[in-house]
Amino acid sequence: MKKIYFVLLLTIFLGFVAGNKASGQPGCENCIAPWSCTTFTLTINCNGVDFPVEYTVCYFCWVTQSRVDAEITRIDGIPIGSNCYWNAREAGVRWILEHGIELCGVLPCEVSMKTFKIYEPVCADLLFNQNGTYSIYLNPECDLKCVREFEWCWCQCVRGICWYEEDCTEGEGYPKVHWRQISSPQLEGSGSCTYNPSQPKPGTRINCQKFKTPCNDDGFGGE
């Protein structure tokens, strides 16, 4: 019983203190308190070549329920190509799930599950960069997002306590974050946008461009 109380107190404590605030960074202007902001860079493989891609994420750690809301507000430096586009978007979602402890604290699977709701822009600004890449910036004037919902917890990978075959691939005693999508992607927001198929010269910005997401198959997809 004491062990359970300790785990619960640790979970609550980390939920309060966790969170990488990065106010002042690009994209963080869309993170309104009490939401926090974090930025990070990932290496994305595109057609056999590695590229650095930068992200900004706004997130909120609920106190009244085991839930985390996270919204991708900026993806900067995506190379042209449909596989590059999808690789970059999915890498951002995976990072949020893999770093959930840093953002909002730990919750052991044997205690309970958290729900992660991850929002990706359907309507956003598209900027063609000078180096041949492009960037996606959230635009509050055309607020339409694709949201996916995941179950999430920290698994000890010990049989009889917590074990998921898809996560505990290294065997017993190698704990892993567990997540699994638990609902179909849904559109959320009252904004609207249309797809502009033109690819203007570097430095051009297309406001409220429509992007392909798991919610819709029409829009800009990096082609």
- More confident call, 212 vs 24: 212
Q: Output the six-digit token pair for 41.
A: 């860079």
Average pLDDT over residues 190-210: 91
Answer whether residue 121 is part of any domain.
yes
- More confident call, 46 vs 5: 46
Q: Where are the beta strands (DSSP E) in 24-158?
A: 36-46, 49-61, 67-79, 114-121, 123-128, 133-138, 145-155
Structural domain containing residue 112: 2-210
pLDDT exceeds 60 at position 21:
no
* Whole-number Å distance between alpha carbons of 100 and 28: 19
Answer whether residue 11 is part of any domain.
yes
Average pLDDT over residues 51-78: 96
Answer whether residue 177 is part of any domain.
yes
Answer whether residue 14 is part of any domain.
yes
3-state SS assignment for residue 178: strand
* Whole-number Å distance between alpha carbons of 183 and 143: 21
Answer whether residue 146 is part of any domain.
yes
Q: How many domains does the chain have?
A: 1
* Whole-number Å distance between alpha carbons of 209 and 29: 20
Answer whether residue 203 is part of any domain.
yes
Q: What is the pTM of this model?
A: 0.87
What's phi and psi for 157, nearest 5 deg? 55, 50
pLDDT (tens digit per residue) in 144-180: 999 999 999 999 999 999 999 999 999 998 999 999 9
Answer whether residue 162 is part of any domain.
yes
Q: Name the pLDDT band for 22 (thresholds 50, 70, 90).
A: low
Answer whether residue 138 is part of any domain.
yes
Residue from 71, 141, 99 nearest 14 by CA: 99
